[in-house]
Amino acid sequence: MEIDPRRLRVLHEVARRGGVVRAAEALHLTASAVSQQLALLEREVGLALVDRSQRRIALTPAGRVLAGYAERVEEELTEAKRELTRFSELLAGPVSIAAFPTVIRHLLVPALGTLAERHPEIRPRIHELYGPPALQELRLGGIDLAITEQDADKPVPVRPSIVSHPLHVDEYRIVVPPSWAEIPRGVAELGGVPWVAGPADQACGHALERLAALYGFTPHRAHVIEEFPPTLALVAAGHGVAIVPSLALLDVPAGEVVVTDITGVGARRLDAVTRVSRTRSGEPGPVQAVVIAALREAAEGLVARLGERYEVR
């Protein structure tokens, strides 16, 4: 029995993506080409690997077993490619990076400029992906590095298969509408006001819960918004107050919201997350390492930019 490794990759993607169409998209093939490769693989092993009796194909028990081996083969090949870069003085090749919009604008874009200047043979590919989906893609090998956020006072444990590399501590700020006659001077004054809150499973949502518990009030979540630009737009229009990271204030015109001088709000932590390598333990690969260095360099320039961008009142 001889098995073509390229067909194993097709089976791996079908199992990973949950169907032929999505696997075809990931492999940049047509659905019929994927189906043909599956049929050839079945001929090679002499067993049915997919059940075609249903509207949506599913793997047979034999298909699931072989897909498990296919995943391990894919992981080994990916690891081998990364290890081989250590023997080349020239850092080159693709690197897939997952991040969320604020970080893409203010960390990744400057970092990409640095990489293009110093390591022009590195080919970054940016994916707007964050949270659990980004970590899932990282574990599966779909991306090489993910940028994550978490409330610094409520860190989320990472799995043993991935490792975090600190990038930046982004202080939270409480912002209020410019139309308010009195600017609050403490968190306790904000118990009865409407909040433009972040989702409970995100860093700013955690921060609001922590403050409410600390100061003994129940926040009135008038709005729950995931992205910072619409959050700041609602605050600017007078619809509530919000906790936002300092980085988000780079996206709002000066004077559109009032940044209070309330302290003790905490911060979010931005990390670059990579898979653990068996040979390097928690150390990132050479290409990932220069990406992380460029991101840290971009983060160092943020403090000065933020100081010029808004006035605390």
Q: What is the pLDDT of residue 20?
A: 87
Check residue 30 and give its pLDDT.
87
CA gyration radius for the chain? 24
Q: How confident is the model at residue 111 (pLDDT cuts 50, 70, 90)?
A: very high
Q: Are 241 and 180 spatial neighbours (Cβ–Cβ below 8 Å)?
A: no
**Architecture of 5-84 per CATH?**
Orthogonal Bundle (1.10)
Q: What was the pLDDT predicted at 22? A: 85
Is the pLDDT confidence value at 102 over 60? Answer: yes
The two three-digit tokens of residue 154, written as one number? 């409520």
Domain with CATH 1.10.10.10 in the chain: 5-84
Average pLDDT of span 68-75: 85
pLDDT in tens, 234-264: 999 999 999 999 999 888 887 789 888 787 7
The reported pTM is 0.69
Q: What pLDDT does residue 216 have?
A: 85
15: nearest Cα among 2, 41, 3:
41
Nearest to 9 by CA among 78, 62, 61, 56: 78
Q: Which two tokens stand for residue 288?
A: 């990932």
pLDDT at position 231: 94
pLDDT digit string, tens, across residues 37-65: 888 888 888 889 988 877 777 899 998 99
Residue 106 pLDDT class (50, 70, 90 cuts)? very high
Compute the distance between CA of residue 216 and CA of residue 48 in angstroms, rounded to an integer: 61
* Cα separation values, 90 from 78, 94, 96, 188, Å: 19, 13, 18, 56
Tens digits of residue pLDDT in 187-232 = 777 878 899 999 988 888 888 888 888 888 888 999 999 999 999 9
Residue 193 to residues 177, 259, 263: CA-CA distances in angstroms?
12, 16, 18
CATH number assigned to the domain covering 170-268: 3.40.190.10
Q: What is the mean predicted confidence (pLDDT) over 174-178?
A: 91
Residue 25 binned pLDDT confidence (cut-offs 50, 70, 90): confident
Model confidence at 86: pLDDT above 70:
no
Specify the domain boundaries for CATH 3.40.190.10 within the chain.
Answer: 93-146+153-163+270-307, 170-268
Please name the amino acid found at residue 117.
Answer: E
Identify the pLDDT of residue 107: 93
For residue 278, the model assigns a pLDDT of: 57
Does residue 175 contact residue 245 with C-beta atoms inside 8 Å? no
157 pLDDT higher than 90 = no
| Cα–Cα distance for residue pair 42/118, rounded to 1 Å | 47
What superfamily does domain 93-146+153-163+270-307 belong to in CATH?
Periplasmic binding protein-like II (3.40.190.10)
Separation of alpha carbons 175 and 240, rounded Å? 9
Smallest CA-to-CA distance from 75 within 16, 1, 27, 163 is with 16
pLDDT in tens, 251-307: 888 778 988 878 778 899 999 999 876 555 567 888 899 999 999 999 988 766 665
As a whole number, mean pLDDT of residues 159-180 equals: 88
Greater pLDDT, 213 or 95? 95
- Closest among 113, 123, 135, 133 to 93, alpha carbons compared: 123
**Per the structure block, which two tokens stand in for 303?**
């403090």
